Amino acid sequence: MLRAQHAPAQVERTLHLLYPNGLAGLRIVDLGCLEGGFSVELARLGMDVTGVEVRPVNFENCMHIKQHVNLPNLKFVNDTAWNFSKYGPFDVVFCYGLLYHLDRPVEFLRLIGNNCKRALFLHTHFAADHPNPKFNLSAMCENEGMPGRWYAEHDGTPATREDAKWSSWENTKSFWLTKGALMQAITGAGFRHIFEQYDFLLPDIFKEMCEGYYAEENRGMFIAVR
């Protein structure tokens, strides 16, 4: 979570590379938007933003923010990310910190591919070859025909599910794909080009990749383009 607050700057630069004629009027969905902070920043770029958030307490905060910003191009819906296609299609999908909370990530990436016209911004954990002491992950195994590791989310009781604001909603465990499997799944979802963006690790990319955030979190920013 260390650099989540800096995401819009890197995303904005890449969006302008993809859309040199401007961002106004482009439709983007922010999946699992939490309290809507990124959605607001994307709307300020001129994009038509739909923030999707399933957890009621988070959605209430989204609506509170909506009432205090003058952004008619911003809306929020209280729904599971699995239903986001009801509100699309979208030019761009912004999936920041959600995929690793799902138990069927390959299926979800296919869903994104079917409802995304141009680009996917995906910031996610991935399973490393060696166990990561920071996370309580399972041994390497297979799910949806892909290798990875299981991660325990919560016990599934209504109170726990509601209070765990940074956890999954429906599933009690999630599956982290290996980096290679993640790239394969993105390709299988219909994206021809995949790039990894490293500038969120500035100012010392080398240190962060060797012993800092990237190395400790096994988490990267991936851009997939049709």
Q: Where are the domains of the chain?
A: 4-127+178-225
Indicate if the pLDDT at residue 4 is higher than 60. no
Whether 169 has a pLDDT exceeding 90, the answer reads: no
pLDDT at 87: 96
> Looking at the DSSP assignment, which residues form a beta bridge with residue 222?
122, 196
Mind listing the pLDDT tens digit for each residue in 122-138? 999 999 999 888 998 99
Tokens found for residue 77: 């819906």
- Between CA 154 and CA 132 the distance in angstroms is 19
* Helical axes 105-114 vs 179-188, angle rounded to 10°: 30
Closest to 210 (Cα-Cα) out of 201, 222, 221, 199: 201
Residues paired with 219 in a beta bridge? 125
Over the chain, what is the mean pLDDT?
91
Secondary structure (3-state) at 111: helix
Q: Which residues pair with 127 in a beta bridge?
A: 178
Looking at CATH, the fold of the domain delimited by 4-127+178-225 is given as Rossmann fold (3.40.50)
Q: Which pairs count as long-range contacts for 149-157, CB under 8 Å and 24+ apart, including other chains?
A: 149/175, 149/176, 150/174, 150/175, 150/176, 151/100, 151/175, 151/176, 153/101
Residue 154 confidence (pLDDT): 74
Using one digit for the tens of pLDDT, what is the confidence trace for 65-96? 999 999 999 999 999 999 999 998 999 999 99
Q: Is the pTM of this model over 0.85?
A: yes
